[in-house]
A and B are shown apart, each in its own frame.
Chain A
Amino acid sequence: MQIYLPIAEMSVNVFLLLAMGGAVGFLSGLFGVGGGFLMTPLLIFIGVPAPVAVATEANQIVASSASGILAHMRRRNVDFKMGAVLLVGGLGGSYLGVWLFGVLRDIGQIDLMIRLSFVVFLGVIGGLVLTESSRTLLRRGRKGPRTKLHQHTFLHGLPFKMRFRTSRLYISALLPLALGFVVGMLAALMGVGGGFLMIPAMIYLLGMPTAVVVGTSLFQILFVTANVTFFQSLNHQTVDITLALLLLVGAVIGAQFGARFGARLRGEQLRGLLALMVLLVCAKLLFDLITQPENIYSVGMLGSHS
């Protein structure tokens, strides 16, 4: 059954969209990741214009983080003060990101930027996770040397120190501001929540306790993707509600199955699998960038929104 997507202005099979939502939802439930970094490239692969894919995926992440955050709030796993500081940076970053998106589109480089950003991020993340999980698998049973719990670096010498009670931290507000800013920028340019970058940074860079990391990052992601949705709609009219809803239905159901299935698998194997998948998507994007396109000429509307 074909459905005409009003903003993407293309006809797509409904079941394909539901299956994509379901598959990415399954993976996100299985691995406990957002899924935006897989869904945006998939949408581009099936022919959705890259700007629409990015903006619509941001809209879908609003929904998936909204459903996740309530559980974390009930368990008091959200550091609202840290979340607020991250968010201030995030709002700035995402606003600037949407503006930059428009500039890049006008000069005809937005597709390239989106694809390149994905190649770099997926490549780095996939590579890191793969080495880490394979090392853990090989070193199984042996104990590595314990690293110091808290290392002092130049980051702790930064000014504007702030106390974050829930996270039991006294650090410079510049750190979460900058982190939020970078993640907000990624949300606007790539249509990802940015959890894959923010969660490790919160643990290793800010030194937050792991218990509050996921809830706090969801808090930031919810508001930042909402901000991206708003400004992409306002400036570029690239948010396709129909597409977002169809993906959402599949994703919600898929995530439930993924979470149940994931409970039966070992952590390192899971991470290894995720890394392989991420690298596969990365390789496909890279392959498309380096092979000569069938037609080296592309056409766009001049001075209008397309």
Chain B
Amino acid sequence: MSAPRLAPLFAMLVLATGLTVPTPVHAADPLIADLSKDSIEITTGFAGTDVLLFGAIEGEGDVLVEVRGPASDMVVRRKDRTLGIWINRDQVGFADVPSFYRLASSADIYETARNKTLIQQYGIGAANLDLTPIGDVLDARQASFRAGMIRNFEASGLYSEDIGGVVFLGPGLFSVKLHFPANVVTGTYGVQVFLLRDGLVVSKRNYSLVVQKIGIGAQVFAFAHKHPAAYGALAIAIALLAGWFAGFVFRRT
């Protein structure tokens, strides 16, 4: 969707939420935002989706949006060439790695030196995520595994940074399109919106977004994990029936 097409939609949202434009929002709330939907449903036809985040700010400033997916412990393995073949040799585990990471901002947050403290304090940017290795790992080794892991997530579309992705539609009005690819993990995603002015966080808002599987695919997945023995038996039964049915049909023709 292009920005001009969004403008009427956004105007409606603004009216619905009681905001008036361009009248400044109340001083206590220099930042206000909302998501176009608060849940993503993984259905049988799911091939990824976009979620729009809209908002308004009072006065000047830059907007930064960060989304983190549910965290879990990950193991990163490194391949080395052994006898001519690339084989997993070494591994490092990391605790509580977000399964998904999106960063979008209206300005280059890495550009100005004063944003540095902000970036470090809030751990903003995939490279600055606070990830603890499991066990004793030398810093240098940890850093290379960590970078390798992030490259991996970037390649599969799970991690990305979009500097300039937050677009101002009018005075104080912004929107950002957040893409969720087909391989997203289910769970609760945290969305943080920051209003930055002169390298300081003027306002910060938290939202959450639930990614869930629904429909037949979700039932298949739940069944496979809750009743694995019955699922296995069912898989065999379906295959037998399908096979015999096919044999029967083609014997006739």
Contacts and interface: CB of A to CB of B under 8 A. Distances in A.
A299 B229 CA distance: 28
B183 interface: yes
A234 B229 contact: yes
A276 B213 CA distance: 43
A304 B148 CA distance: 21
A239 B232 CA distance: 8
Given A11-B182, A302-B75, A242 B217 contact: yes
B220 A71 contact: no
Contacts of A109: 87-88
B72 A304 contact: yes
Nearest to B48: A11
Contacts of A295: 148, 151-152, 155
Given A70-B247, A237-B225, A301-B74, A230 B236 contact: yes
Interface in B197-253: 213, 216-218, 220-221, 224-225, 228-229, 231-236, 238-240, 242-247, 250-251, 253
A10 B48 CA distance: 10
Contacts of B246: 63, 67, 248, 252
Interface string B71-97: 011111111110011111001010000
Given A11-B46, A62-B236, A296-B148, A112 B243 contact: no
Nearest to B231: A233
Contact of A245 (B78, B151, B242): B242
User: Which of B79, B152, B253 is most buried by chain A, counting CB atoms within 10 A of its CB?
Assistant: B79
B47 to A, nearest CB: 4
Given A10-B182, A293-B86, A229 B235 contact: yes
Interface in A228-245: 229-235, 237, 239, 241-242, 244-245
Contacts of A217: none
B250 A252 contact: yes
Contacts of B245: 67
B41 to A, nearest CB: 11
B7 interface: no
B64 to A, nearest CB: 26
Contact of B232 (A65, A108, A234, A303): A234
Given A108-B77, A301-B72, A302-B75, A256 B235 contact: no
Contact of A296 (B78, B225, B253): B78
A153 B4 CA distance: 84
Contact of A4 (B43, B148, B225): B43
Interface residues of A, number: 59
Contacts of B46: 2, 4, 11
B interface bracket (residues with beta carbon within 8 Å of A): 35 or more
A92 to B, nearest CB: 18
Interface in A193-210: none
A301 to B, nearest CB: 6
Interface string A42-69: 0000000000000000011011111110
Contact of A67 (B151, B224, B243): B243
A66 B226 CA distance: 28
A241 B247 contact: no
A241 B234 contact: yes
B76 A297 contact: yes
Given A11-B48, A109-B88, A63 B239 contact: yes
Contact of A302 (B73, B232, B240): B73
A9 interface: yes
A3 interface: yes
A232 B45 contact: no
Contact of A59 (B152, B239, B251): B239
Contacts of B134: 302
A67 to B, nearest CB: 4
Interface of A: 1-7, 9-11, 59-60, 62-68, 70-71, 108-109, 112, 116, 226, 229-235, 237, 239, 241-242, 244-245, 248, 252, 256, 289-305
**Which 7 pairs of residues, A with B, have the shortest CB-CB distance?**
A297-B148, A66-B243, A233-B232, A67-B247, A11-B182, A63-B243, A62-B239
Interface of B: 42-48, 72-81, 84-88, 91, 93, 134, 145, 148-149, 151-153, 155, 182-183, 213, 216-218, 220-221, 224-225, 228-229, 231-236, 238-240, 242-247, 250-251, 253
Given A59-B236, A230-B229, A297-B152, 7 more contacts: A62-B235, A63-B242, A64-B243, A239-B232, A294-B155, A302-B134, A304-B72
